[in-house]
Amino acid sequence: MLVLGPALGSSPAPAQQRGPVAVVAVAPFTVDRDSAGVLRTLGDTCLAHLVQGLKAQRIQVELHLELSEKNLEVARPAHWAVLGHLTRDAGQFQAELRLLDVTSGEELRSYFNADKNPAGITKFGELAAPRIARVIEEQKGSGPR
């Protein structure tokens, strides 16, 4: 597990700044049919933007390289996980993000984007982050965590 947070030696946070609102586990995007490595590179960029977007929402992000829908337990103690998938079909890139409850495995939300231009896909995670944060806030308010 790799926790993605502020770098060591960075300046202390201002006193008025609060800690993270939640902890979310993420994994590298899975990709289909990628002999040239184009999708893998694009998936890694999408993941970086997702992490950046979640951090901007005050969500602590933990990277789990082995995380998948079949082994969500590796994400604990995080209560939520975001898994991404990237494909290219008929010249169009398609990206999906799935917000999952780690304990139950239930899919809470799914976000989808498609574009012929890779640049249109790269910021997808960053744009989805505020929506993901809202769902997490709703989940936190609906029961004990």
Condensed to tens digits (0 to 9), the pLDDT of residues 21-45 reads: 899 999 999 998 877 888 999 999 9
CATH of residue 87's domain is: 3.40.50.10070
Does 116 fall in a domain?
yes
**Where is pLDDT greater, at 90 or 8?**
90
At residue 10, the pLDDT reads: 39
Does 60 fall in a domain?
yes
Q: Indicate the SS3 state at residue 69.
A: helix
Does 103 fall in a domain?
yes
Q: Indicate the SS3 state at residue 14.
A: coil
**pLDDT value at 17 more than 50:** yes
User: For 68, phi and psi rounded to 5 degrees?
Assistant: -150, 175
Banded pLDDT at 9 (limits 50, 70, 90) = very low
At residue 75, the pLDDT reads: 97
**Do residues 125 and 97 make contact, with C-beta atoms less than 8 angstroms apart?**
yes
Does 68 fall in a domain?
yes
> How does DSSP classify residue 68?
-
Q: How far apart are CA 115 and CA 126, in angstroms?
A: 16
Q: Into how many domains does the chain fold? A: 1
List, for residues 57-115, the tens digit of each pLDDT value.
999 999 999 999 999 999 999 999 999 999 999 889 999 999 999 999 999 999 999 99
- Report angle CA 36, 38, 43 to the nearest 5 degrees: 140
Does 32 fall in a domain?
yes
**Rounded to two decimals, what is the model's pTM?**
0.83
Place of tokens 């999952």: 100
Does 15 fall in a domain?
no
Does 43 fall in a domain?
no
- Domain of 85, in residue numbers: 20-37+48-141
Does 76 fall in a domain?
yes
